[in-house]
Amino acid sequence: MKRLESLTEEELVISLRSNSQDAFKQLFDQYSQKLFHFSRSYLKSDFESEEIVQEVFIKIWENRGNLKSDKSFKSYLFTIAFNAIKKHFNKKMREEKYKHDLFEWLILSSPDLETRDEFEKLIEKLDHLIDQFPPKRKIIFLRRKKEGKSINEIALEMGISSKTVKNQITAGMNALKKSFTEEDFSTVLFYFLFIS
């Protein structure tokens, strides 16, 4: 039997289709750095690029049974990576638009909020408070409030009831409202961001 290192890409893919973890590792070793540099050229972030590499190889492992050994594995790999990068950019654009729209609205509504720096500080504080939520609540809250997903979508994705999702959102909103009141943050900001 051939040594793994001497197998062709096609042979490695065939082995991977048969659940070979060694073939998976060999393909990972062969392409992970290339994928990292490819992602880094777009994202300009080591952390985000590493996340893309992980996401790509998780998809490869999950779909290993459907891999085509007669097609270019490299092309398939980089297509997945490119789609993941596009998805990442789209998400960032949605978040930036959400922040930009909020900032514009607040400038008109709150005379005391004079600069974008002040706005960014409020957003940072908000993110910090959400980071302190219990893990499940944090995931639910961000999917609802930042990604704009419906309660039913979140319930389906997480395998929980819609009632549980609603309860977690309410608990999160109550915790934030309490913090905002205590720290004298803008009530206007809070309600704009978190009123359903």
Domains, the chain, in order of start with CATH, read 7-88 (1.10.1740.10), 113-194 (1.10.10.10)
- The two tokens of residue 172 are 């999160």
For residue 7, the 8-state DSSP code is S
pLDDT at 163: 93
Helix, coil or strand: residue 1: coil
Are 24 and 61 a contacting pair, CB within 8 Å? yes
pTM of the model: 0.49
Instruction: Give the span between the Cα atoms of 151 and 165, in whole angstroms.
Output: 6
Q: Characterize 153-175 residue by residue with b for buried, 16 or more Cβ atoms within 10 angstroms of its Cβ, and e for exposed.
A: ebbeeeeeeeeebbebbeebbeb
Backbone angles phi, psi at 28, to 5 degrees: -60, -50
Are 158 and 170 a contacting pair, CB within 8 Å? no
**pLDDT digit string, tens, across residues 130-140:** 889 999 999 99
Are 185 and 125 a contacting pair, CB within 8 Å? yes
46-62 helix and 21-43 helix, angle to the nearest 10 degrees: 140
Q: Which of 99, 62, 102 is nearest to 80 (CA)?
A: 62
Are 87 and 51 a contacting pair, CB within 8 Å? no
Backbone angles phi, psi at 194, to 5 degrees: -120, 0
pLDDT at 53: 93
Which residues in the chain show pLDDT less than 50?
1, 111, 113-114, 182-185, 187-188, 191-192, 194-196
- The two tokens of residue 153 are 């979508």
